[in-house]
Structure 1
Amino acid sequence: MESYREIVALLLAAATAFFYLLWFFVPPVRLVWRCLSTRENLPVLNTLKACCDSAWPFHPAMFRRQMRLWLELRLLHPKPRREPKWFLDPRSKRYQLQYDDRAFRHELAEWKRSTRAKFGALKIKEKEPVIEVVDVFRLNDDGTKEGIKQYLLAVSQLRLSLDEQASFLCSVKIEHGFLLPLNLLAGLMSRFADDWDPIISCYDRMANHAFSPQQMTIFNLWLLWGPSVPICSCDQWGGPVTLQYGFGDENNSVRVRVRDERKEHLLAELRKAVAGRSGGAHPALHASITGRLWPPSSFFQGEICGAQQELLNPDREAFILEYEGHSVIGNPASSRLFYTAYVWALFVVGREQKPGGDQVRQEPWLHVIPFFEQGNIADDSCYEMAKLQLVLKVINFVKSSGHLEADPGLPPLRLWYVCALDDSGCGRDIEVVPKGKTIRSMLEELLAESEQRPLKKRIITDDRSYAQVLSGCHLARVVSELFETIAEGGRRG
């Protein structure tokens, strides 16, 4: 009887150990396998490599964290690949593909050193390291974006985090970029196939119902290549907001979620940067930034401000960077910075009778026309030039519009100003006001000149009738409704 009890106890102990092993060790192995399998046909060797790198110290909780670290490093700090590069052969005077083994060995050695240091920080200090990337190009690379999305999904489904929707284990530091008080509405970089294909497919139907084919074309171009709207001080932006952090252009940017005191601190620092510059460049803080990557589905209603609710849709955002800290690289008063974006102004277009509010509210994209210039908004003189070119474009469009009419007998078109890159249009000030003249005031000054005065009746700048529908604080909702309408039309078709 004693031996029987001992056998049962031994079996129970073995079963407990087995399930303990299964519970703690299989999920992280499955995590690595699952994420690697999206890139590799049979990721056996790399999964074993991850297990070997993470096997010491042999502790269940540490093993989980080290496996996740291994995968996060692979996503954001991948092992260098030996690839041929183009070199000019001085003898043949032609370019040839060659391997630079010396440069590759040096790059590989640096990668190994950095990776060992990060694993050491976790193993010895039991503290998650920070993964550095040079700029947002690494995060916005299509392969990296998809990898981050798959990883965050797998961590959640395999319950490898205490959070219902898990973030990255490690913080990510982006070394170089610009932080701006802007919200990117759409853009080529984020959803090329998803956005462009349906809009192109339904263009004929929409152009036939729009004010004109020209109006519909200009609106589509403005939207699809990605405009940004300013963050306003009105209630639509109350609570947590996402700022724009990019490198080179607004379309190459990530969302940085910030709230409470940190939000006020960052906005105050952006205002201070404006005050420290002599010219009227758009607010841009040159800084490195640190945060943790989260899936948009992690946030509930109210954890993103009303003007940015579309960010909660995981189909439109692969991730959001939850702000932890930043370090200013410097915006010396005499320095010249480079960050490009659409400089734009939005108008409702009509004729003698102003389009009614209900008419515009129902399908606003059929009644608005944006004018835009691509410009370097972080440089004073370049930003001023872009604003002037934009204002002249508006005036010249109205002047020459008669030549574009399908029916010369139609009454001349008229424009009603709504909002712009530097004006939310809702009646409240934007959070960080640039120095210098606004786009609207520049337009009004030109219209006050004697040769332009006849156009004042056709370009109306003091009408706020559409503020509750088309101000910058509501444009994100307009964009979402547009894509929903297109999708519904496609299903009906």
Structure 2
Amino acid sequence: MESYKEIVAIILAVATAFFYLIWFFVPPIRLVWRCLSTQENLPLLNTLKACYDSAWPFNPAMFRRQMRLWLELRLLHPKPCREPKWFLDPRTKRYQLRYDDAAFSHELAEWKRSTRAKFGALKIEDREPVIEVVDVFRLNNESTKDGIKQYLLAVSQLRLALDEQAPFLCSVKIEHGFLLPLNLLAGPMSRFADDWDPIISSYDRMAGRAFSPQQMAIFNLWLLWGASVPICSCDQWGGPVTLQYGFGDENNSVRVRVRDERKEQLLAELRKAVAGRNSGAHPALHVSITGRLWPPGSFFLGEICGAQQELLNPDREAFIIEYEGHSVIGNPASSRLFYTGYVWALFVVGRELKPGMDQVRQEPWLHVIPFFEHGNFVDESCYEMAKLQLVLKVINFVKSSGHLEADPGLAPLRLWYVCALDDSGCGRDIEVVPRGKTIRSILEELLSESEHRPLKKRIITDDRGYGQLLSGCHLSRVVSGLFDTIAEEGGAQAAGRARRGP
């Protein structure tokens, strides 16, 4: 009888241990396997390596955290690859591919040291390390963005974090970039298949209903190559907002979510930076930034301001950075900085009669025309040049528009100014007002000159009637409405073809 009880006790102990092992240790292993399976057919060796690197100390909670750290480092701080590089051969005077083994060995040693230090911080100090990346190119790399989405999805589905929609375990520090009070409307440079194909496919039928093919083409170009709108002080921007943080160009940017006192502190710091310099460049802070990567679907309605509600759609963004802190990067007084984007102004286009609000509200993209100039935001002389070129482009378009009319008997076209990069157009000031002349004021000055005065009746700059519909505070909804309409019309056409048969 005693031996029977001992056997039962042993079986129960083994079963408990097995359950314990399955419950606490298998989900992290499944996490690594799932994430690696997107890159490898049979990721057995790398999964075993992750387990080996994470095995000590033998603690279920620590094992989970180390396995997540292993994956996050693989995504954002990958092991260097030994690759050939081009070198000029002084003997042959030609470039040749060679391996630089000394440079690779140094890079590999630095990577191993950094990786050991991060695992040591987690194991010994029981704190999540910060993962450093040089700039947002690492985060916006297509394979990295796909890996981030797969990882965040797997962490959520395997319930490896307390939050149902789990963020990264570690914070990420981006060493170099510009923080601006702007919102990128679409950012589809990295979404060619998702955004470009619908726009191209629908262009024929849209151009047939639009004011003109030229108007529709210009609007599509402005949208598809990405434009940013200013963050305004009106109610549409109340609550948490995402600021733009990028390197090189606005289309190579990420969204940084800030709220409450941190939002006010950052906006105040941007205003202070504008007030403390004579430069008329667009407001920007040259900073390194630290934050945690969250999936967009983790935020509830109300946790993003009304003007940016499209960010709650996880199909639009791979991740959003929850702001934790930043450090200003000092620059010599004489240094020139480089961060580019569209300098733009938006107009409603019509003829003798002003287009009605109901007409424009129904399909605004058929009635608006944006003019834009690609320029360097953060260098004053380059920014001022881009604004002047933009205004001259508006004037020359109206001046020469008669040569583009399909019917010469049509009344001359007219433009009604709505908003611009430096003016939300809703009637309220933008949160961070740049120094220098606005795009609108430059346009009004040139129209007052004798050479261009006859065009004042055709370029109307003092009409705010479209502000509540087409201001920068509402343009994200206009963009979403365009893609929804294209999808609905495309679906209706497909259904019609199916009913007609082959």
**Alignment correspondent of 1:299:** 299
Q: In structure 1, how many angstroms separate the alpha carbons of the residues matched to 2:70 and 2:189?
A: 28
Q: In structure 2, how many angstroms separate the alpha carbons of the residues matched to 1:106 and 1:325?
A: 31
**Alignment correspondent of 1:272:** 272
Report the alpha carbon displacement of residue 8 of structure 1 after superposing the two structures with TM: 1.8
Report the alpha carbon displacement of residue 101 of structure 1 after superposing the two structures with TM: 1.2
Q: Write out aligned runs for 1:307-346 (5 A).
A: 307-330=307-330, 334-346=334-346
**Alignment correspondent of 1:190:** 190
Q: In structure 1, how many angstroms separate the alpha carbons of the residues matched to 2:471 and 2:190?
A: 23
Q: Write out aligned runs for 1:6-405 (5 A).
A: 6-330=6-330, 334-405=334-405
Report the alpha carbon displacement of residue 453 of structure 1 after superposing the two structures with TM: 1.3
**Alignment correspondent of 2:435:** 435
User: Which amino acid in the other structure matches residue 347 of structure 1?
Assistant: F
Report the alpha carbon displacement of residue 492 of structure 1 after superposing the two structures with TM: 1.3
Report the alpha carbon displacement of residue 193 of structure 1 after superposing the two structures with TM: 1.3
**Alignment correspondent of 1:449:** 449
Q: In structure 1, how many angstroms separate the alpha carbons of the residues matched to 2:19 and 2:366?
A: 61
User: Which amino acid in the other structure matches residue 299 of structure 1?
Assistant: F
Q: In structure 2, how many angstroms separate the alpha carbons of the residues matched to 1:153 and 1:366?
A: 38
Q: Structure 1 unaligned runs (5+)?
A: none
Report the alpha carbon displacement of residue 418 of structure 1 after superposing the two structures with TM: 0.3
| Deviations 1:214-237 (CA, angstroms, capped at 9, x unpaired) | 000000000000000000000000
Report SS of the residue matched to 1:256. Answer: strand
Q: In structure 2, how many angstroms separate the alpha carbons of the residues matched to 1:197 and 1:428?
A: 36
Kept in 1, the 8 Å contact 2:282–2:383? The answer is yes
**Alignment correspondent of 2:426:** 426
Q: In structure 2, how many angstroms separate the alpha carbons of the residues matched to 1:334 and 1:253?
A: 26
| Deviations 1:282-326 (CA, angstroms, capped at 9, x unpaired) | 001000000000000000000000000000001000000000000
Normalising by the residue count of structure 2, what TM-score does the alignment of the two structures yield?
0.97
Q: Write out aligned runs for 1:455-466 (5 A).
A: 455-466=455-466
User: Which amino acid in the other structure matches residue 205 of structure 2?
Assistant: R
- Cα RMSD, aligned residues only: 0.9
User: Which amino acid in the other structure matches residue 67 of structure 1?
Assistant: M
Report the alpha carbon displacement of residue 9 of structure 1 after superposing the two structures with TM: 2.1
User: Which amino acid in the other structure matches residue 57 of structure 2?
Assistant: P
Kept in 1, the 8 Å contact 2:196–2:224? The answer is yes
Report the alpha carbon displacement of residue 100 of structure 1 after superposing the two structures with TM: 1.3
Report the alpha carbon displacement of residue 333 of structure 1 after superposing the two structures with TM: 5.2
| Deviations 1:196-220 (CA, angstroms, capped at 9, x unpaired) | 0111111111001100010000000
Report the alpha carbon displacement of residue 334 of structure 1 after superposing the two structures with TM: 4.2
Q: Is 1:417 equivalent to 2:417 in the alignment? A: yes
Q: In structure 2, how many angstroms separate the alpha carbons of the residues matched to 1:173 and 1:374?
A: 29
Report the alpha carbon displacement of residue 347 of structure 1 after superposing the two structures with TM: 0.1
Q: Would the alpha carbon gap of residues 96 and 334 (structure 1) be closer, same or farther in structure 2, given more than 3 Å must change?
A: closer
User: Which amino acid in the other structure matches residue 228 of structure 1?
Assistant: S
Report SS of the residue matched to 1:310. Answer: helix
Q: In structure 2, how many angstroms separate the alpha carbons of the residues matched to 1:290 and 1:43?
A: 32
| Deviations 1:3-59 (CA, angstroms, capped at 9, x unpaired) | 222222221221111111111110101111110110112111111111000011111
Kept in 2, the 8 Å contact 1:416–1:463? The answer is yes
Kept in 1, the 8 Å contact 2:189–2:224? The answer is no
Normalising by the residue count of structure 1, what TM-score does the alignment of the two structures yield?
0.99
Q: Equivalent pairs: percent with the same residue?
A: 88
Q: Structure 2 unaligned runs (5+)?
A: 494-502
Report SS of the residue matched to 1:65. Answer: helix
Report SS of the residue matched to 1:127. Answer: coil
Q: In structure 2, how many angstroms separate the alpha carbons of the residues matched to 1:329 and 1:269?
A: 14
Runs of 4 or more consecutive aligned structure 1 residues displaced over 6 Å after TM superposition = none
Report the alpha carbon displacement of residue 93 of structure 1 after superposing the two structures with TM: 2.7
Q: In structure 2, how many angstroms separate the alpha carbons of the residues matched to 1:466 and 1:12?
A: 74
